[in-house]
Structure 1
Amino acid sequence: MPKFLVVAPAWVGDSVMAQPLYRRLKDTLSGLQLEVMAPAFTLPLLRRMPEVDAVIENPFGHGALRLAERWRLGRELKRQGYDQAIVLPNSLKSALIPWFAGIPRRVGFVGEFRYGLLSDARKLDPRALPKMVERFAILSQARGEMLAQPLPEPRLQVSPVSRSKALKSLGLALDKPMVAFCPGAEYGPAKRWPPQHFAELARRLGQHGYQVWLFGSVKDKAAGEAIMAGSAGNVRNLCGVTSLEQAVDLLSLATLVVSNDSGLMHVAAALQRPLVALYGSSSPGFTPPLTEQAEILSLDLSCSPCFKRECPLQHFDCMQNLLPEQVERAMARLLQRVGTPTVSE
């Protein structure tokens, strides 16, 4: 029985986009034991992926070399007898533990000059693999093979019991249909739709009988408060209040999700929630929501995507000029397409 270790990415969205790789590995290798090493905050996602047999916490944060500790963890993992490792991050540090563990086959992209750490170091052709999910999935195949298409979509499992517990612990009720807003984006403000636009959209949704719940980290709490202040009392700010486990459970209850290009956008897609995805500085060609139940909105300005944390031209037109009425129309189109009552009914 083959046994693989995957060194997973350190971002929520990337963790979701890695699931098609896990599915491909399981489909290709009969009886595969698949274990994934990832940062603690992403483990709730991995535990909801049926392809993952075991998770290992990666205790090393960004920029932390801690070479002796990596060596000790590698020697501990050596006893597990892995046949192969797949290293998804491109950093040199991420390839150290499989090397210390003596895993005979270690696959990944060249990255930060790590030829010696990878036994199968591949050069990435971004034109052949324009999407992040494709770059992960190709590592399930032999060197030189074309990527087999189509890729499976990510799918996160949700327990009805844990979902009920989340509702009860936070005092939430589904007396009205719920629309989820995800107003944050970890990379920077250039990816975030303005709070005043979210607030205006929430007001419009309230007039149509919807309640709005806001999801995000503690870093998004201030934006959530600004949305609440302008929303005429139709919003519950859960930013910084829920755990990731609770956020996943509660997002699964949404009639529809409106989100920036963020980790929670990919979570919503993997929960098969109808999704309106808002793009400004980033590109839907690189990190699109991996679901058929999505409407992607982008103004496609000549200056975007710039992939900057802040608008280099200081006008933020790519998000500022994307208006609430445009998002509302996209919501109505999407809900009509997927067979759910529209926001105007």
Structure 2
Amino acid sequence: MSSPLKILVIRFSSLGDVIYTTPVVRCLKQQLPGAEVHFITKPQFKYIYEDNPYLDKLLLLKEKLNDTIAEIKAQNYDCIIDLHSNLRTSIIKLRTGIKSYTYNKQTIRKWLSLKLRKQLVPPVHLVDRYLKAVVPLGIVNDNKPIDYFVKNNYDIATLLPATHHNGYIGFIIGAAHFTKRMPNEKIISICRQLNRPIVLLGGNDVKGNGSMIAAAVGPNVYNACGVTSLDESVFLVSKAESIIGFDTGLTHIAEAFNKPIASIWGSTVPELLGVQPYKVDNVLISGVNLSCRPCSKYGLAQCPLHHFKCMNDINEKEIVDFCNG
């Protein structure tokens, strides 16, 4: 009988990519008897795995790669699961000499898909592509959603006004890049048509946007952007009746709670990245079919053609009907 494995899973960034590794960690822990599963990521993404019951140890990428390599060597891992597959992870695998299993990133095909605006990458979800890397270990997909564990059990009454205590729609208005965000005027128009209270969610970078939207719509909208912590925001997502969100980390985290999600896509497309909502029962994917879309893989600071039709022409009615239904 073979001894239990000690495994290191690697994914340094970004938020969405890290959250989609959670089914791999869960399956490794549950399907390999006695396995000790560790994970390494950048410090800013450590909250994704804090309190995760399927993880035995969380390592954080150090400023100097040599220090990270030394720490990995000291752990005496049986194997590495490389879910990042870049130059840095290649150096780690080479320098440690540990047996490894690597995710096929399909970088060239993705680049050609973007440049030619053709779907040259099979529309397989990122989770399923990650799981292919661990098939040699006998791992099979358990067909469950991604994992996120809220750190505290917060009180809705302390986070939201009384008008929002009996149910609300979470509207995630933030995103890292301008071309992933819907213009304020469009958000205002949608909020005015929704028949439930709305909580706006996002960071400090969209706090001003949230204030403008709330002022235009009225007390039916509460602006929690830059007011709640990330963990509090995730808690509010977990308690929402439904979620509206763009291609951003908090929208992806919402998938862990199997809430109805209206997933809105501007300059990016889910098929290219394989990051459409995963194992969510009720989903609306909203995007506009344009010859100029996608214009980038991760989003841009402005629309290259200056018309921003990918967001301006989004069908408001289908989003409103989805949430009001």
Which TM class, normalised by the smaller chain length? 0.7 to 0.9
In 1, Cα distance between equivalents of 2:312 and 2:221: 21
In 2, Cα distance between equivalents of 1:110 and 1:157: 28
Count how many residue pairs are aligned between Structure 1 and Structure 2. Answer: 303
Offset, 1:154: 0.9
Of residues 324, 335, 342, the one that matches 2:316 is: 324
Where 1:252 maps in the other structure, the secondary structure is helix
- Whether the 8 Å CA contact 1:92–1:112 is kept in 2: the answer is no
Of residues 214, 228, 234, the one that matches 1:228 is: 214
Question: Partner residue of 1:296?
Answer: 285
In 2, Cα distance between equivalents of 1:26 and 1:169: 36
Question: Partner residue of 2:26?
Answer: 23
In 2, Cα distance between equivalents of 1:301 and 1:148: 37
Where 1:230 maps in the other structure, the secondary structure is helix
Question: Partner residue of 1:120?
Answer: none
- Does the C-alpha gap of structure 1 residues 327 and 95 become closer, same or farther in structure 2, counting only changes over 3 Å? same
Give the TM-score normalised by the residue count of structure 1: 0.78
- 1:234-263 CA-partner distances (Å, limit 9, x unpaired): 222222233222221121110111001111
Q: Which moved more, 1:19-28 or 1:212-221?
A: 19-28
Offset, 1:169: 5.4
- Whether the 8 Å CA contact 2:262–2:284 is kept in 1: the answer is yes
Where 1:79 maps in the other structure, the secondary structure is helix
- 1:258-294 CA-partner distances (Å, limit 9, x unpaired): 0011111111111211111111222232210112221
- 1:31-50 CA-partner distances (Å, limit 9, x unpaired): 21111111233222212543
In 2, Cα distance between equivalents of 1:255 and 1:40: 32
Offset, 1:97: 4.2
Q: Gapped runs of 5+ residues in structure 1?
A: 61-68, 114-125, 333-341
Offset, 1:151: 4.3
Of residues 247, 262, 277, the one that matches 1:261 is: 247
Of residues 295, 309, 315, the one that matches 1:306 is: 295
Of residues 252, 267, 270, the one that matches 2:256 is: 270
In 1, Cα distance between equivalents of 2:75 and 2:123: 33
Question: Partner residue of 1:163?
Answer: 153
- Does the C-alpha gap of structure 1 residues 111 and 304 become closer, same or farther in structure 2, counting only changes over 3 Å? closer
In 2, Cα distance between equivalents of 1:329 and 1:268: 20
Offset, 1:131: 3.1
- 1:8-64 CA-partner distances (Å, limit 9, x unpaired): 24122112211222233234422211111112332222125432222122244xxxx
Offset, 1:217: 2.0
Q: Which moved more, 1:282-291 or 1:90-99?
A: 90-99
- Does the C-alpha gap of structure 1 residues 90 and 223 become closer, same or farther in structure 2, counting only changes over 3 Å? farther
Where 1:156 maps in the other structure, the secondary structure is coil
Q: Gapped runs of 5+ residues in structure 2?
A: 108-119
Question: Partner residue of 1:63?
Answer: none
CA RMSD in angstroms, aligned pairs only:
2.8
Question: Partner residue of 2:174?
Answer: 184
1:236-255 mapped onto 2 (5 Å cutoff): 236-255=222-241
Question: Partner residue of 1:211?
Answer: 197
Q: Does 1:50 align with 2:36?
A: no
Question: Partner residue of 1:12?
Answer: 15
Q: Does 1:138 align with 2:129?
A: no
Q: Does 1:35 align with 2:38?
A: yes
Offset, 1:158: 3.8
Identity %: 26
- Does the C-alpha gap of structure 1 residues 108 and 326 become closer, same or farther in structure 2, counting only changes over 3 Å? same
In 1, Cα distance between equivalents of 2:160 and 2:125: 39
Of residues 65, 72, 76, the one that matches 1:70 is: 65
In 2, Cα distance between equivalents of 1:112 and 1:93: 17
In terms of fraction of residues, the more helix-rich structure is 2
Give the TM-score normalised by the residue count of structure 2: 0.82
- Does the C-alpha gap of structure 1 residues 98 and 168 become closer, same or farther in structure 2, counting only changes over 3 Å? farther
Where 1:164 maps in the other structure, the secondary structure is coil
In 2, Cα distance between equivalents of 1:133 and 1:204: 35
